[in-house]
Amino acid sequence: MPNRRDESPDGAQSDETSDALRVKLIRAVRFAIAKLAAEAMGEQAIRTGNELRACIVLARLAPVVLAEVAKNELPPIILPPGLSEEEADRLLEALEAAPDLPPPGAKSVEGRG
**Model confidence, pTM:** 0.50
Residue 58 lies in a domain: yes
Residue 46 lies in a domain: yes
Give the C-alpha separation, 56 to 73, whole Å: 25
Smallest CA-to-CA distance from 29 within 2, 70, 61, 74 is with 61
Residue 56 lies in a domain: yes
Residue 109 lies in a domain: no
Residue 84 lies in a domain: no
Residue 110 lies in a domain: no
Q: What number of other Cβ atoms are within 10 A of residue 53's Cβ? A: 11
Query: What does the pLDDT profile of the chain (113 residues) look like in tens digits?
Result: 444 444 555 556 677 888 888 889 889 998 999 999 999 988 888 999 999 999 999 999 888 887 776 666 656 667 677 778 888 888 878 877 777 766 666 665 555 44
Domain with 58 in it: 7-75
Give the C-alpha separation, 25 to 61, whole Å: 9
Q: In total, how many domains does the chain have?
A: 1
